[in-house]
Amino acid sequence: MHIFSFSSEEELNKAGAKVVIDLLMKKPSAILGLATGQSPVGIYKQLVKAYKKGIISFQLIKTFNLDEYIGLNKEHPQSFYMFMKQRFFDHVNIPSERSYIPDGIAPDFNEECIRYDRLLNKIDLQILGIGHNGHIGFNEPGNYLSSRTHVVELTEETRIANSKYFSSLNKVPTHAITMGIGNILKAQKIVFVARGKEKAEIVFQSLFGPITTECPGSFLQLHPNLVVLLDKEAASYID
Ligand code: F6R
């Protein structure tokens, strides 16, 4: 595990983007695993900048997003598909048919999970954030974790945290489809990003606490190629 902490947002974002750029230089057809949420947005911005400067091309990559809300179609303003489209996909040259995200309005969600798992090629680089309760993807804390893509019931804590994107808490979906812990850990490399004081404790627990289903992020300790990018606040329990 390599842990880096940065005193400026820009440095952190550039470091995250550099990991992606270095990979694409070596392997233009790399498969990227992507996350939504605030944590990776600055990295996506840096990647858009690099693309606009002609430093990298996304023409040959494939992307797989970690998760999608159940009940929101692609065009819904709060769908994760729309999140990615507005912040990343629309600004680079990824052919739309090469970006995959679970279908939140699939007629049969069990079938959809099986379909997504079959599509999932080996991810070269997974970009990952963490929830305040330790979730990665939408693998919520509990008595057990699932390895493959599955349907989850979101915890109240997660729904409250994500309600900032919705007009009210009751508009936040109750369920989602998410890659499982096994899917995430199979990635060749993981770039784990966290920002802010409110993430400091869960980051510490995830990286140095017991490996337990009560903190899904703790399973990252088992990954052989984990790069951790933190701002000073998120790193404050470690430093
Ligand atoms: C997003 C995802 C979530 C977020 C987590 C942190 O696709 O799977 O695990 O990474 O909820 O969200 P932010 O970055 O908004 O704090």
Q: In whole angstroms, what is the distance from residue 33 CA to residue 122 CA?
A: 9
Look up residue 82 and give its DSSP letter.
H
Whole-complex ipTM: 0.99
**Domain 2-195+220-231, CATH 3.40.50.1360 — does that match?**
yes
pTM of the model: 0.97
User: Average pLDDT in the 105-111 region?
Assistant: 97
User: Average pLDDT in the 33-56 region?
Assistant: 98
**What tens digit of pLDDT does each residue of 191-204 get?**
999 999 999 999 99
Helix (H) or strand (E) holding 102: none
Active site residue 140: yes
Residue 90 is predicted with a pLDDT of 97
Look up residue 195 and give its DSSP letter.
-
Alpha-helical runs (H) found in the chain: 9-26, 41-52, 80-87, 109-119, 156-162, 181-185, 200-208
Q: In whole angstroms, what is the distance from residue 75 CA to residue 4 CA?
A: 37
159: tokens are: 């729904």
Domain definitions of the chain by residue range: 2-195+220-231
User: Average pLDDT in the 70-76 region?
Assistant: 96
Residue 127 is predicted with a pLDDT of 98
Checking DSSP bridges between strand 2-6 and strand 150-153, what pairing results, if any? unpaired
Q: In whole angstroms, what is the distance from residue 86 CA to residue 80 CA?
A: 10
Q: In whole angstroms, what is the distance from residue 63 CA to residue 98 CA?
A: 6
Q: 239 CA distance to ligand 1 centroid (A)?
A: 23
Active site residue 183: no
User: Average pLDDT in the 25-30 region?
Assistant: 97
Residues in the ligand 1 pocket, defined by CB under 6 Å? 35-39, 66-67, 129-131, 135-138
The neighbour count for residue 17, using CB atoms within 10 Å, is 22
Q: In whole angstroms, what is the distance from residue 157 CA to residue 215 CA?
A: 14
Confidence of residue 239 (pLDDT cuts 50, 70, 90): low
